[in-house]
Structure formats: C-alpha cells, structure tokens
Amino acid sequence: MRVNGVRFSIDNYAAWAPGVSTIDAWKRWAASPFPLIGDAEPNVAPMPVMLRRRAGFLGKMALEVSYQCLGDRTEVPTVFCSRHGEVSRAVDLLTELARDGSVSPTGFGLAVHNASAGLFSIARKDQANHIALASGKSTVEHAVIEACGLLADGAPMVMLVTYDHALPPVFASFQDCDEQSYAWAWLMVPAQENAIHLSWDDVEGQELDSGDMPGGLEVLRFQIGEQTQMQRIVGKRRWLWSRHA
C-alpha cells in the first residue's frame, strides 16, 4: 500500500462565521461545536468600499479572513478553495437567463470560482499568484497539497483560504453534510516545530464517508483543538491529519 504525505506549519490564522469571530470564540466552538448560523456579515473594513460592495456574503467572509491573516504582507501566493463557491449567484444567473435570455456580465464575473481571489488581488494591488480550486468533500486536502507544492517550489509562505456556506433551497435535496457558513485562512510556511502532517491512502472495499460536518470545519476544529490525529474518509480515500512537536 502506497502512503503519501506533506508537512507544513501555520504561522498565522484567522476564522470568521456569523456570531463567531474571535479566536477565543472559535476555541469554545472547537471544544463543543454548535451550528454556525445567522445573517450577520463581516465588515471587511480594509477593502475599498466600491470593491467591497461587489462581494456577496460568501466573498465577504473569504475576504475578511484573508485580510486578517495576511496583514500588510505582499507578494504571498494564495490558494482559495471552496467546495460550492458562489453557487447562490450562479442560481440567480440561471434564473435570470431563463427569464430574460441574458445575464449580467458583472454578475457572471462575480460568480466564477476565483472571484474572491481576484477582488482581493485588485483591492491590494498585489500581483502575487493566486489559485482557486474545488474538489468535492476533499477540497481542503487538495488545497493543502497545492499550497505545499508552492512551498516546495520555493515560496517562503502561502496563504490558504477556505470558505463555504449552505446550499440554496433548489439544491437542498443534494446536500450530503450539515452545510454551514464559515471562512478561515492559514498562513502556511515550511514545516518547523509543531508541524502538521497530512497523509493519505486508499481504503479497500466499500466506499465510505465519515462525519456530518463540512470538511473545512472538521479540519479547522483539528487545527484549533488539542487532537494530535484526525481521520477523514471520503469515498475510497483516507486522509490522516496529525501533528508532532
């Protein structure tokens, strides 16, 4: 059986959800998770108003944690990942198309998967490389592998941004976990003390899924909490998260 893995450390992090916006609040959530619900929006105060107005709820969550995590640093490559992305905007566009036979170019531009990354780059006038990806229930793991690839290529640090929210009602019957609204960001650096190790292998036999919590929240809970190991099984792939002093 072949086992693969990557290692990295986290230099800084930020997280935001309706009603949970401080590190202490997130630690309380990690100790005893509760549903992340509500309609409050982050301020995204550092972003120019005209650009901030273009971002929807999902984008504002991603931008809020990006600003908090990265601070004044520039020329840092970023990996934005979201399983569903701007699916609510996409539903609105398809409804508009069915009704009027056309869609707003601006609306379309803000519905693509790298919209939040693009707004962040434009607002900061920062031309650093950015990537946006989705990979089903293993989106976070594949984003970590992508970020570690950038570190291996010589980047001194990479920011990983993970964000999602509940599916719109038209897709409710397809929901396969307890979707919630959240965003978090890690400033990842090459492995040092207390490094996190992500390894993976194939699970023989029947396809399995572990956990009702979205993958992004499972991983955040592991990072914030005191566990030394966490296993996630998605289909026939087993992901093992661990940390060592």
In a domain, 79, yes or no: yes
In a domain, 202, yes or no: no
In a domain, 117, yes or no: yes
Question: What is the residue range of 28's domain?
Answer: 9-189
Rounded average pLDDT over 215-235: 93
Find the farthest-apart pair of alpha carbons in the chain and give their distance in angstroms, rounded: 59
pLDDT tens string 132-169: 999 999 999 999 999 999 999 999 999 999 999 888 88
Q: Is the dihedral of CA 117, 141, 181, 28 positive or negative?
A: negative
pLDDT tens string 34-49: 999 888 899 999 999 9
In a domain, 228, yes or no: no
pLDDT tens string 201-222: 988 765 556 558 899 999 999 9
Residue 132 backbone phi and psi in degrees, to 5: -125, 130
Among 10-14, 16-20, 107-111, the minimum mean pLDDT is found in 107-111
In a domain, 15, yes or no: yes
In a domain, 227, yes or no: no
Spatial CB neighbours of 77, under 8 Å, sequence gap ≥ 6: 128, 129, 130, 131, 150, 155, 158, 159
| Amino acid at site 124 | R
Number of domains in the chain: 1
pTM of the model: 0.91
In a domain, 20, yes or no: yes
Rounded average pLDDT over 44-71: 94
Residue 1 has pLDDT above 50, yes or no: no
Mean pLDDT of the chain: 89
Q: Identify the CATH number of the domain in which residue 41 sits.
A: 3.40.47.10
In a domain, 133, yes or no: yes
The two tokens of residue 64 are 């809020």
Q: How far apart are CA 172 and CA 164, in angstroms?
A: 15
